[in-house]
Amino acid sequence: MMSSLYIGATGLKAHGEGMSVVTNNLANVNTVGFKQTMAMYQDLVSQVVPSRSNFVTNLSQSGAGARIGETRKIFTQGGFENGSEATDMAISGIGFYGVTHNGVTQYTRAGNFRFTKDGELVDPGGWNVLGRVFRNGVEGKAAEPINLDFSTGPNGVGRMAGKATTSVTLASQLGGLENIYDDAANPYFSMAAAWDGTNSKPPAAYSYREPIDIYDSEGNTRQAYIYYDKATEKNGVKVMEYVVGIDPSEDAAKAGTKGAGLLMAGTLSFSSTNQLINMTGFNFSGSDPTNLSAYTAASLVNGSPAFNVNYTATKAQTVSLDMGLALSGNSGGGFVTAAAAAAAPDTLFEAAPGAVRSDRATTAYGSRPALQYSTNDGYPEGYLRGLELGTDGLLVGQYNNGESMDLARITLYRFTSQDGLHREGDNRFSATKDSGEITEGIPGEENFGTLAGWSLEQSNVDYAREFTSMIITQRGFQMNSKVITTSDQMLQKALELKR
């Protein structure tokens, strides 16, 4: 009877501790990233009782009660709820965020992070989030506390400097072009030869023109134009001439001359099926546009002819013109100058050797010319307007000039045994010798989970399971209390026997 009192007491203690586990789970039902625990009961060491059995000797045992053997962490995935910032982030899959404070590193699944006024990314307890910071566009190789300078100064990410244009890509539909500027003696470069930079709006005549946005070395938007005119047609092959120019008053290199504003001239050749098969480009560097020897074959950048432009008060820049045909070799169709091409134009009616036409290339379709597509790699300066987080952990700045810039990458950590982690409170865990090796990685790679911005991982507490456990624990506690009261009554009866 004395042992039954003890056993009942162990049952009360064990179920009381079990109720604490259930209570803690339910208390943290709304805790971000919380991982529930499970009480694992086990029996206490049993004692051997004498046995008179003829078949079994000294193997009879009597139990000594119960206890909580362990409280096991359950790391199942929690559901997602909407966050209020891009720095509210949730892990889908394996991994923990790393956070550090005063040289101590801990780990968490709760991604409710915020930037401080000093640019530090921290959790609610002020611990710094670990990640790889980008500097001058290069991602750091080692994780460090993420600290960004959000100012608009030279080293701040609050402002993005403008980028000078180095490449213009456009695709046009040039069907319906007319021979407006008809010069029988010079049909392929007639517009260029007629250019007069002393006139505020050259050339004098053209069939069609398109604007080209160019950003100068200061990030300012500048305007250039490409002018088209039909040249001639032979055996179904159509040759058109074009001129690239800017406002003569903005040309710092040739200001005051007839060649002011004239940048490049060339030809476009289209097959009988209206596909672009040849293109030439000649840069003009003289002062007399009628001198075709002053037009030299343009250099090729990724197969596209490039022109030089020097806007007033800015640095000179080279801009390639991609119209969908990547040339191989010489941009002048084998000719060094426009004069040589004009003297022997037969090659203009042939496909350029080795040229590769893209799916989006200029054509001669349609009855009216029109611009189909245009873009360039330059942009004006911009100011930070928001942040976005990629599934790969990239924290990207979004700027009001339409551009973006990688700022940092959130790193994740996994362990040989995450069950060996020690709870530290405030949604954090610390590594122990039982958690094993720590591995750092990038979200989405090497068996690490992915990240979701504007989201938070909810607690993984299962309400139904916890209420069921609470009822079972209550019944266990109640039955053990009944064992104690019954054993007490039996002892009272035993004591009454001697009276």
pLDDT digits (tens, 9 = 90+) for 272-288: 999 999 999 999 988 99
Q: For 271-393, where are the E strands, in sequence order?
A: 276-279, 282-284, 295-297, 300-301, 304-309, 317-322, 325-326, 356-357, 370-376, 382-389
Half-sphere exposure at residue 294, Cβ-oriented, CA atoms within 13 angstroms: 14
Running DSSP on this structure, what letter comes out for residue 163?
Answer: B
Q: Which of 121, 143, 99 is nearest to 428 (CA)?
A: 99
Contact residues for 297 (Cβ-Cβ < 8 A; gap 6+)? 280, 281, 282, 283, 330, 331, 332, 335, 336, 337
pTM higher than 0.85: no
Burial status of residue 76 (CB atoms within 10 A of its CB: 0-12, 13-18, 19 or more): exposed
Distance from CA of residue 251 to its chain's centroid? 39
CB of 210 within 8 A of CB of 226? yes
Could you tell me if 394 and 406 are in contact, meaning their C-beta atoms sit under 8 angstroms apart? yes
**Alpha-carbon gap, residue 211 to 335, rounded angstroms:** 28
Q: Is the pLDDT confidence value at 355 over 70?
A: yes
Q: What is the largest CA-CA distance in the chain?
A: 143
Q: Return the pLDDT at 87.
A: 97
Residue 195 dihedral angles phi and psi, to the nearest 5°:
-65, 135
111 pLDDT more than 90: yes
pLDDT > 90 in the chain, percent:
74
| Length of the chain counted residue by residue | 499
- pLDDT digit string (tens) for 295-335? 999 999 999 999 999 987 778 899 999 999 999 988 888 89
What the block records as the tokens of 480 is 């053990």
Give residue 380's identity as a one-letter amino acid code. P
Band of residue 54 on the pLDDT scale cut at 50, 70, 90: low
Q: Express as a percent the part of the chain with pLDDT over 70.
A: 95
Q: Which helix (H) or strand (E) holds 497?
A: none
Q: What contacts 364, CB < 8 A, 6 or more positions away?
A: 173, 174, 175, 177, 238, 240, 270, 274, 276
Per-residue pLDDT of 55-82, as tens digits, reads 555 567 777 788 888 889 999 999 999 9
Distance of alpha carbon 64 from alpha carbon 5, whole angstroms: 10
At 78 the pLDDT is 95
- Residue 102 pLDDT > 90, yes or no? yes
Through-space distance between the first and last CA atoms of the chain, rounded to whole angstroms: 20
Helix or strand run (H / E) with residue 47: strand 47-48
- CB-CB contact of 432 with 159 (8 Å): no
